[in-house]
Amino acid sequence: MADGGVRTTCPYCGTGCGLVVTPEADGWKVAGDPQHPANFGRLCSKGTALADTLAPDSRLLRPEVDGRAVDWTHATAEAAGRIRSVIELHGPDSFAFYLSGQLLTEDYYAANKLAKGFLGTANVDTNSRLCMASTVAGHRRAFGSDSVPQCYDDLELADLVVLAGSNLAWCHPVLFQRLKKAREDHGTRVVVIDPRRTDCCDIADLHLALAPGSDVALWNGLLAHCEAAGLIDFPFVDAHTEGFTEALSAARAADTCQTGLAPADIATFFQWFAATPKVVTIFSQGVNQSASGTDKVNAILNVHLATARIGKPGCGPFSVTGQPNAMGGREVGGLANQLAAHMGFDQASVDRVGRFWNAARMASSEGLKAVELFRAVDAGKVKAIWIMGTNPAVSLPEADLVRRALAKCPVVIVSDCVADTDTMRFAHIKLPAHGWGEKNGTVTNSDRTISRQRPFLSPVGEARSDWQAISAVAGHLGFGSAFAWKDSAAIFAEYARLTAFENGGSRDLDLTDWIGGDYDAMVPTQWGGKRMFADGRFFTADGKARLVAVTARPPREMPNVDWPLRLNTGRYRDQWHTMTRTGLSARLSGHRSEPLLDINPIDVGRLNLLDGALVRVKSRLGDYVARLRATTDQRPGDVFLPMHWTDRFAARAIVGRLLAGHVDPVSGQPESKHMPVKIEPF
Ligand code: SF4
């Protein structure tokens, strides 16, 4: 450990805060890294409590096969043998990986290479599908590439920040701290677009509590307003975009009454946006987690493109990702519809990646996305699945279907650092993985900054990195030479070379500057430069961005007589995912010690319920028991539950059990915020 501690990165949200970890007499001190460009020393409650979560008690200590502890050689040989048997009998697509935005880029790269280059299947999907797949699809439609144009400094440079479907205060708290400070320093105007009143509204000049699902109508209305007000940047539009006429035609047909907002509030938002050259629109899960999520993303991008508010200081659309490495995962192809280095499944890319890898059996078309993947497991089409660092038995919609699918799947391999998760209970082969503090690799945060996660702890038990487990299995399958990396630095170097391979400026992701760099000394750096697209050059075939004509569509299921309320789901400030780590910290549980059903007092009275009472929430798929919290933060008719708890922590508390598996037709991202439910006394 160097003097001054180990510089590493927070394992939680996509802000990607830098940390300095130093030993203390009774443990570790975790502080914000003053030199990291994401946080400049700041931390939120979760980052501050990281040292509380290092206890080894909950860890998976050694590999197991069918309930027996075995050594790594036995476990990986057994995993390889079972995967080989399934593929020989049923073909490559009978195998799948299900990965996680918690994995390091190097782990993701190794899994993608094994599946897509050597086993011949693109069935490699990830919990990031639940997080930002609609943004990926929207970016690719508009820019020809999955590129985030902006950087965090733009929060401080903007004069207006629009938070669209983003509870930045709880989900990216350090970014919220930066925005709050900018507002104090120079009066940044803030507009919140969210059906709920969240803590973001504490600093908002305007809160637009729009009807759930009406985002496209609002943004189309803004595009039409900008055109009517003479604010379209026609020199930019004519030189650098296509599709404006069609997008405007669709926008003019928009009915902003669908939003349920007061016309005066809509007019105020439109006037502020139109009158402010420096606007940043932050968008997140409230936009993405929808059966029309990709259209919502493009509705936002349309306005920024038409007004040339993109890629400039303090000015542009800005997706913030939920997880620490959702960006790094998608960069190395951690989605079933992408190859590594942001390439797709066009023939030229398949050939290029195949040549680079000297692939044994290259996948040639897209694989199954998360929801359809687990349906395929349930249908017996996927017969072997390797799940790494995620808990789909809790976190996916149709959770009971997922559980049924895992229970009958012939081969379930789970790599995790935690011994007992809901998903681990279905595993035939358990592989102990490094936890945070032991991991050694890289992550990419929401503004394309690649940072190192560095180890400061010795691995617990026989835990190994995920890439080592993949490499060992690949070796047993006969692919050893292609996976013979000596360390994570070698994987990153190979990945960097792939990004540059036959690139010539044709693809957004090019890590040429990283090739041959000092991996251990790497400092946080944005790939692609501080901002992208300022020159008006995009990564489509003709170099022009696309405005996409979009029309508002309602959620796939609407409340009705039998299911009169609409369920929204999301995060709490101090918990993370399914609580396998944050659940270890008593101080984090102090914020919300149990799941609460937030509901408007009008509905409480109408349903003859009592504030504070336990209630059963029912959808057509399942049920959930929670304590009722009456709050005007919710619109009448809308209720909210957190995503974190499981039956293991509370009586009946898997929110995925309530959610249907409706997905966006372009991105495959599930609709997690619009499920009709009813409530009964418990
Ligand atoms: Fe970690 Fe996100 Fe908090 Fe930063 S804002 S300390 S990355 S959880």
pLDDT of 26-67, one tens digit each? 899 999 999 999 999 999 999 999 999 887 788 999 999 999
Q: Ligand 1: which residue has its CA nearest to atom 3? A: 44
Helix, strand or coil for residue 543? coil
Looking only at the bridges linking them, the beta strands covering 160-164 and 189-193 are: parallel
Q: What is the pLDDT of residue 138?
A: 98
Between residues 631 and 573, the one the model is more confident about = 631
Q: Which atom of ligand 1 is nearest to the CA of 19?
A: 6
Q: What is the pLDDT of residue 653?
A: 87
Give the pLDDT band of residue 93 (cuts 50, 70, 90).
Answer: very high
Q: Which atom of ligand 1 is nearest to the CA of 45?
A: 3
Do 92 and 226 lie in a common domain? no
Q: Ligand 1: which residue has its CA nearest to atom 4? A: 17
Tell me: pLDDT of 356 over 90: yes
CA atoms lying within 13 Å on the CB side of residue 94: 17
**Ligand 1 center from residue 16 Cα (angstroms):** 6
* 8, 9, 10, best to mutate for ligand 1 pocket (most atoms within 8 Å of CB): 10
* 46, 155, 447, 574, best to mutate for ligand 1 pocket (most atoms within 8 Å of CB): 46
**Residue 77 counted as domain residue:** yes
Using alpha carbons, list the distances in angstroms from residue 305 to 143, 243, 408: 10, 11, 49
Do 38 and 123 lie in a common domain? no
**Ligand 1 center from residue 308 Cα (angstroms):** 31
**Residue 555 counted as domain residue:** no
**Residue 553 counted as domain residue:** no
Q: Which atom of ligand 1 is nearest to the CA of 174?
A: 5
Do 147 and 92 lie in a common domain? no
Q: Which atom of ligand 1 is nearest to the CA of 43?
A: 6
**Residue 618 counted as domain residue:** yes
Q: Which atom of ligand 1 is nearest to the CA of 44?
A: 3
pLDDT (average), residues 223-249:
97
- Is residue 314 exposed (0-12), middle (13-18) or buried (19+ Cβ within 10 Å)? buried
Q: Which atom of ligand 1 is nearest to the CA of 32?
A: 6
Q: Tokens in use for 537?
A: 């050059």
Q: What is the pLDDT of residue 206?
A: 98
Between residues 207 and 504, the one the model is more confident about = 207
Q: What is the pLDDT of residue 72?
A: 98
**Ligand 1 center from residue 148 Cα (angstroms):** 19
Q: What is the pLDDT of residue 652?
A: 86
- Single-letter amino acid, residue 86: V
Dist CA 194 CA 200 (whole Å): 10
- Single-letter amino acid, residue 142: A
Contact 58, 418 (CB under 8 A): yes
Do 146 and 82 lie in a common domain? no
Q: What is the pLDDT of residue 561?
A: 96
**Ligand 1 center from residue 263 Cα (angstroms):** 37
Q: Which atom of ligand 1 is nearest to the CA of 175?
A: 5
Three-state secondary structure string covering 350-411: HHHHHHHHCCCCCCCCCCCCHHHHHHHHHCCCCCEEEEECCCHHHHCCCHHHHHHHHHHCCE
Dist CA 195 CA 173 (whole Å): 20
The tens digit of pLDDT for each residue in 430-465 reads: 999 999 999 999 999 999 999 999 999 999 999 999
Do 491 and 379 lie in a common domain? yes
* Domain span holding position 40: 6-54
Give the pLDDT band of residue 260 (cuts 50, 70, 90).
Answer: very high
**Residue 431 counted as domain residue:** yes
Do 184 and 309 lie in a common domain? yes
Question: Among 341, 192, 323, which residue's Cα sits nearest to residue 261?
Answer: 192
**Residue 526 counted as domain residue:** no
Q: What is the pLDDT of residue 583?
A: 84
Tell me: pLDDT of 679 over 80: yes
- Single-letter amino acid, residue 69: A
Residues linked to residue 28 through DSSP beta bridges, in sequence order? 23
- CATH label of the domain that carries residue 25: 2.20.25.90
Do 46 and 95 lie in a common domain? no
- Is residue 385 exposed (0-12), middle (13-18) or buried (19+ Cβ within 10 Å)? buried
Do 500 and 623 lie in a common domain? no
Dist CA 543 CA 334 (whole Å): 26
**Ligand 1 center from residue 7 Cα (angstroms):** 15
Placement of tokens 């990195």 in the chain: 465
Neighbours of 652 (CB within 10 A): 16
**Ligand 1 center from residue 251 Cα (angstroms):** 37
Question: Which residues lie with the beta carbon below 6 Å from any ligand 1 atom?
Answer: 10, 12-13, 15-17, 39, 43-44, 46-47, 172-174
Do 356 and 298 lie in a common domain? no
**Residue 559 counted as domain residue:** no
Q: Which atom of ligand 1 is nearest to the CA of 48?
A: 6
Q: At what angle do helices 466-476 and 72-90 cross, to 10 degrees?
A: 60
Placement of tokens 């899994």 in the chain: 111
**Ligand 1 center from residue 17 Cα (angstroms):** 6
- CATH label of the domain that carries residue 209: 3.40.228.10
**Ligand 1 center from residue 541 Cα (angstroms):** 37
Tell me: pLDDT of 2 over 60: no
Q: What is the dihedral of CA 86, 91, 93, 94, to 10 degrees?
A: -30
Q: Ligand 1: which residue has its CA nearest to atom 2? A: 13
Range among 215-224, 565-574, 589-598, 651-660 with highest mean pLDDT value: 215-224
Tell me: pLDDT of 3 over 60: no
Helix (H) or strand (E) holding 157, with range, is: helix 153-157
- CATH label of the domain that carries residue 415: 3.40.50.740
The tens digit of pLDDT for each residue in 359-379 reads: 999 999 999 999 999 999 999
Tell me: pLDDT of 254 over 60: yes
Q: At what angle do helices 293-306 and 244-252 cross, to 10 degrees?
A: 110
Contact 189, 161 (CB under 8 A): yes
* 9, 44, 178, best to mutate for ligand 1 pocket (most atoms within 8 Å of CB): 44
Of the chain, the percentage scoring pLDDT greater than 70 comes to 99
The tens digit of pLDDT for each residue in 191-234 reads: 999 999 999 999 999 999 999 889 999 999 999 999 999 999 99
Do 307 and 347 lie in a common domain? no
Q: Ligand 1: which residue has its CA nearest to atom 6? A: 47
Do 170 and 276 lie in a common domain? yes
Do 301 and 337 lie in a common domain? no
**Ligand 1 center from residue 367 Cα (angstroms):** 32
Helix, strand or coil for residue 198? coil
Helix, strand or coil for residue 232? coil
**Ligand 1 center from residue 434 Cα (angstroms):** 20
Dist CA 548 CA 301 (whole Å): 9
Give the pLDDT band of residue 579 (cuts 50, 70, 90).
Answer: confident
The tens digit of pLDDT for each residue in 150-199 reads: 999 999 999 999 999 999 999 999 999 999 999 999 999 999 999 999 99
Give the pLDDT band of residue 1 (cuts 50, 70, 90).
Answer: low
**Residue 527 counted as domain residue:** no
What is the number of structural domains in the chain? 4
**Ligand 1 center from residue 580 Cα (angstroms):** 17
Dist CA 97 CA 331 (whole Å): 17
